[in-house]
Structure 1
Amino acid sequence: MEDIEKKSEYDQDVKNRLKRVEGQIRGILKMMDEGKECKDVVTQLSAARSAMDRSLAYIVAKNLETCIRDAENEGESADEVIGEAIQMLVKSR
């Protein structure tokens, strides 16, 4: 049963976000192949990085929300879960 829960952990919204990032990366590679200006490539890379950062934050936030609710339902403190979420975000930078 745990495997079923894990499969649904990532909703379609986050998958769509990452598919857009994938499209951005492909576009950047095409720009590079076409010899586009560095400034334009860097601008698009920055946009892709920003989209990845937002996706990461979304995943961590959704996971944190679920873990806090689970901890509260089990009568446990959510402090450890919050600490883990903070560490995930800090390591991603």
Structure 2
Amino acid sequence: MEYDAKVINRVKRIEGQVRGLISMMEEGKDCREVVPQMTAVRNAIDRTAAVVVSKNLEQCIREEKDNGQNAEQLIQEAVNMLVKSR
């Protein structure tokens, strides 16, 4: 699968959030400041994973249709991936 610039930029933003989180921890920030940042990082990763799975699923379904095959198994695999990621 090819990852477009938008997805790569999402991951780079997450990287920046993680660096910010590390800085906060190194500075000894209170957990009331650190935990929301951790939640933001986790949510950003979850959203990015969903984007990657949906793009991949869309591509696979198109290929399956072009080959005259049923895409039901691919859809189930994608749903399982998303469920496991939570």
Please state which band the TM-score falls in when normalised by the shorter chain: over 0.9
CA deviation vs aligned residue, 1:45-93 (integer Å, no higher than 9, x gap): 0001000000000000000000000011111111011011011111111
TM-score (norm 1): 0.89
Partner of 1:18: 11
Higher RCO (C-alpha under 8 Å, 6+ residues apart): 2
Match of 1:90 among 60, 83, 86: 83
> Are 1:64 and 2:62 an aligned pair?
no
Look up the SS of the partner of 2:3 in the other structure: coil
TM-score (norm 2): 0.96
**Gaps in structure 1 of 5+ consecutive residues:** 1-5
Runs of 4+ in 1 over 6 A off after TM superposition: none
Q: Distance in 1 between matches of 2:46 and 2:85?
A: 8
State the one-letter code of the partner of 1:13.
Answer: K
**Gaps in structure 2 of 5+ consecutive residues:** none
Q: How many residue pairs align between the two structures?
A: 86
